[in-house]
Structure 1
């Protein structure tokens, strides 16, 4: 297993394949294990890179997650890319990892070629989610399937990681309230925003949530595309793996793909 140091703590990473670096960034309460199956599709065309953010997976634990969690995780990524002397990196971030990917591209555009940001809530926390997150997380601990997911992602101390994440989400909305430090009109790399129209976190709020939210983001950036899957849950890239792989490869190789479903 490979590690790099950030804030004097060990951050786990794994690399395999050949070619242009393609970095996968995991979401909240998850780890790089969430990509276990889908990354196999990319290894013949890219140097695949997986990271467990501090406090997750095989990385060192934190006694408390910072409130500005997604920016802190972006700093970890930037430090890693600089240490490895990588540039022109493609990034796929899903859910919270999508927020990290956008922060990386905003803060260190010289390191990034293209970004796919999948299944994320937008520029600011989704109040409908954060106001219920503590109760929802407590409820999820009693769901056998969710417990298995948490343990698969984090190991035996999964409950500590989940509680740490829940606390950060609540403090972030109260203390910070936005995910990005820099303005979106400063975003330079090519970007593709993806999501599912049936995403359980946003479809109950509005059936056109992603169309509206992603449209506003693309308008502020001044360039970019979106692709919305007609079916599948959260995150879209794992509930539509074959179609996601196809459109991601077309995006990375600058080919034209069809309009959203």
Structure 2
């Protein structure tokens, strides 16, 4: 297993395949294990780089996640990019990983080729989600499927990971309230925004959420594309794996 140091902590990462580097960034309460199957399908054309953000997977644990979680995760990615000297790398981020991916591109555009941001809230937290996060997370701990997911992603101490993430989301919502430090108008790389119209976390609250929010983001950026799948849950990247592979490969190879 490979590790690099970030602020004195060990962050786990893996590389597979060859070609132009492609980072896959996992979402909240997950780890690089969420890409176990799909990573191999990119490895024929890319050097796929998987990372476990601090506090997740095989990386060192934290007593508390930072409130500015998705910005800090972006700084971890930039740290790995510089340590390994990948040159320009493409990034696919899913759910919370999409927020980290966009932050990477805003903070270090010279290191980024193209970005695919999948199944995320937009520029600001979705209040209907953050206001009920504690109750929803406590309920998920009692759900067998959710427990199996948490364990597969993070191991025996999965409950600590979930609690740290829940606390960070609440603190971010109450003290920061926006995901990106720099305005989207300065976003440089090519970008594709993806999601599913059946996303149970987002579109269940507003059917046309992605059309509205993604559309506004593309207007601010001034370039980019949107692709929404009619079916499939959260995240679209995994619930529509074959379709996502086709769309993403086409975009990355343009």
Offset of residue 245 of structure 1: 0.1
- Which residue does the alignment assign to 1:151? 151
1:239 equivalent in structure 2? 239
**Following the alignment from structure 1 to structure 2, what is the Cα–Cα distance between the partners of residues 44 and 211?**
32
Alignment of 1:90-105 (within 5 A): 90-105=90-105
Structure 1 CA distance for aligned equivalents of residues 106 and 131 of structure 2: 28
- Aligned twin of 1:61: 61
Residues 195-226 of structure 1: per-residue CA shift (max 9 Å, x gap) = 00000011222111000000000000000000
Q: Which residue of 1 aligns with 2:118?
A: 118
Matched length: 254
Q: What is the CA distance between 1:69 and its match in structure 2?
A: 0.3
Secondary structure in structure 2 of the residue aligned to 1:50:
strand
CA RMSD of aligned residues (A): 0.5
What is the CA-CA distance between 1:43 and the residue it aligns to?
0.7
Give the unaligned 5+ runs of structure 1.
255-261
Alignment of 1:15-94 (within 5 A): 15-94=15-94
Q: CA deviation at 1:122?
A: 0.4
Secondary structure of the residue aligned to 2:47 is strand
Structure 2: stretches of 5+ with no match in the other structure:
none
Superposition TM-score, scaled by structure 2 size:
0.99
Question: Residue deviations 1:73-104, cap 9 Å, x none?
Answer: 00000011011111220000000000000000
Q: Write the distance in 2 (CA, Å) between the matches of 1:192 and 1:88.
A: 17
Q: Which runs of 4+ in 1 moved over 4 A?
A: none
SS at match of 1:193: strand
What does residue 180 of structure 1 align with?
Answer: 180
Q: Secondary structure at the match of 2:192?
A: strand
User: CA shift at 1:126, angstroms?
Assistant: 0.3
Note the alpha carbon deviations across 1:131-156, whole angstroms, 9 max, x for none.
00000000000000100000000000
SS in 2 for 1:47: strand
